[in-house]
Structure 1
Amino acid sequence: MENSKSGRSANSPLKILIAADHSEASLCAVRFACELAPPDSVIRIVSVVPLTQSIAPSGHASTTNEDSTRSAAQALSSANALFIRAGFEPETATIALSVKRRDVVHAIVDAAASWNADIVVVGAHQRHSLLRYLKRNVSEPLVKLCALPILIVPQRSADMAHGPYRILFAVGSVADTQRCVRLGVRFATAASRFRAVYVIGRSVWWPGERRDGQQDEGAMALEAARELLGAGTCTTTSTIGPSETAADIADALVCEAVKWDADLLVMGTHTRHGLKRFAFGSVAHRVLLTTRTPILLVNREGS
C-alpha cells in the first residue's frame, strides 16, 4: 500500500518530525518519542527561533536574538542527545522566524511539508500558554494545513519504560477507525495490548435522524478494529453507553484512558460532522484540554 501524499510505501520507515524548545513539556515529548518511535524511524528535530522585537536602546535587540538562538540550539542539543542514546541518528535544524513568517505553527507546518514527514510531535502544558496556543491555532488548523498525524504529549504524562504497552483507540466511522488503527499499530511492540472503544454520548437528535445510528456506526467501527488488530487475548473492544459517560464523549475517553492505564490514545480529529459538529465542537479538541495520556490525532487525509 502506498501513501498518496508522500509516494512511499505504508511500510516504509516513519519520518518523525519533533518540534523542540527549552520547556519541560517539550522534554517530555522528546522522551516519549524516543520510546515510541520504531527502531527504523527517521528522526528530524527542529527548534523555532522566535522573532524578537525590542524597544531597548540600539544593540540590545541583537542580544535578545542571540539569547533566543542560543536557547533553540540548547533545546536541539538536549533532544539530539536523548535520541542518540536511544539508538537513533537524528537530523537537527533551527527555524528562524522573520517579519514575513512570524507564526510558529506555520513554520512547523512548512518544515514538516518540505521534509515530507509522516508525523509531527509536540509537547503541551495544559495550564500555560502553549496549550492555549494549541487550542486556538493548532488542534485543527495544523492538521488541515499539513494533513499529518500529530502526537501531542502532555507535560503531566508518565514516562514509558519501553514502547507503548497499552494502546487505546477511540473509534468513530469505519474509515476513521481504519486510519487510526493502521497508524497506531506501527508503534506497537510484541508485548503491546490494544483496546478499541466507541463512546455513545448524550445526543440531541435532529428531526428525521435515526436514533440507533450511533449503535450501528459503533458496531461497524469496532468490527473494523477487530479485523485489523486481531481477535486474540491482546485485543479488547467495547461500546461505552451514555450512562457511563461522566459529562460528554471527551470526558469518557479521558476517564477510559486512565482506567485502562493507556500509554497512548489514538483518535481521529473529526468525530462529528456538519451542524452537529458545529454545535458540539471537536471531541479531540476537548480531550486535549484534560488528558494526561499522550494523544495521537489522525487527520482524515493523513497516514
Structure 2
Amino acid sequence: MKKLQFTRHRRLRSTANMRALVRENQLNVNDFIYPLFVIEGNNIRNEISTMPGVFQLSLDNLAAEMDEVVALGIKSVLLFGIPSEKDECGTGAFHDHGIVQEGTRFIKKHYPDVLVVADTCLCEYTSHGHCGVIENGTVLNDPSLELLVQTAVSQAKAGADIIAPSNMMDGFVVAIRAGLDEAGFEDVPIMSYAVKYSSAFYGPFREAAESTPQFGDRKAYQMDPANRLEAFREAESDVIEGADFLIVKPGMPYLDIVRDVKNNFNLPVVIYNVSGEYSMVKAAAQNGWIDEKNVVMEMLIGMKRAGADLIITYFAKDAAKYLKEQ
C-alpha cells in the first residue's frame, strides 16, 4: 500500500498529561464570581425552588456561606438584595442601610480579602419590578440615572470593591462614574452590564431576586436577542463613558458576542452564566440525563475559549470543588 501523507493530530492527544501540556485554555478558581442573594430578616435560608443549591440568605446565615466560599478559594462575590419593603422608586436600593449595603459591610468586616461586587439596579426594590422610574407605564431614562448614582455611591460608602450597574439605562456608566468621582470614590471600578439581552434565560433569577415586572417586560431597555452589531455600539459607549469591565449576559447562547467583545475592546470581559443556564443543567443532572460535573466544566471552559476573562456563575462552588479534585 502506498504511504499516505497526512498530519497525525492524535499525537498531541495520546495521554492525559500530553493533553494537559498542550491545552489552550485553563479554568482557575480566580476566574469565578459567585452570586449571592441577601435578604432582610433573620434566620432565613430559603432554597430557590428553580435553582437547587442556591439560597436567599439573611445576614445571620451569611457567615456559613462565606466560610465555604473562602475555603474553596473563591475570591469574588456578587451581591443581590431582597428588601422587606418595596416602593415606586426603589428606595431600598440607595438607602445607606439597605440590604446590599449591610451585606457588603458584613463581608468586608469579616472577610476583608474577598472582593464584593455590588449589583446596582432598582428592580429588586421597586414595587413594579422595573429597573427605573415609571411614568405613564414607561421607564424614564434620565430620572432613573439619578437614583442609580445614589445607589452606586451608597454601595461604595458601604465598602463595595466594584460597582456593577445592570439596569441598561442609556448613560448609566458616565453618570455613575461622575457620581463616584464626585463622592471621592475615583478608585472604585465599574463592571458594566454592557451587553445585556432581554432573555428568557433570566426566569429562575426573577424568583430568586423577587424582581418579576408587574406589567409589560424589559424589551424597551434590554437588547434584542436577534442583534449582534448593537452589542458593539453598547460596549463602545460604555468604554468611552469609563467602564473598567464589560459584561455579556446571558452566557451560553451569546458566546459569539463574547468573542466579538473580546476581539474589539481592550478591557476585561466578563460572562454571566445566568440562572436559566444553571437550572437546565441541574434539572437534567437530577434526572440522570447528563453527567453534571463534566457538563459544567465543559460549559465553563467553552466560555473561557470564547474570550471571557471572568465568569459570574452559580456553579462557582461546584466548579471550585471539581478543580480541587483534578
TM-score (norm 1): 0.30
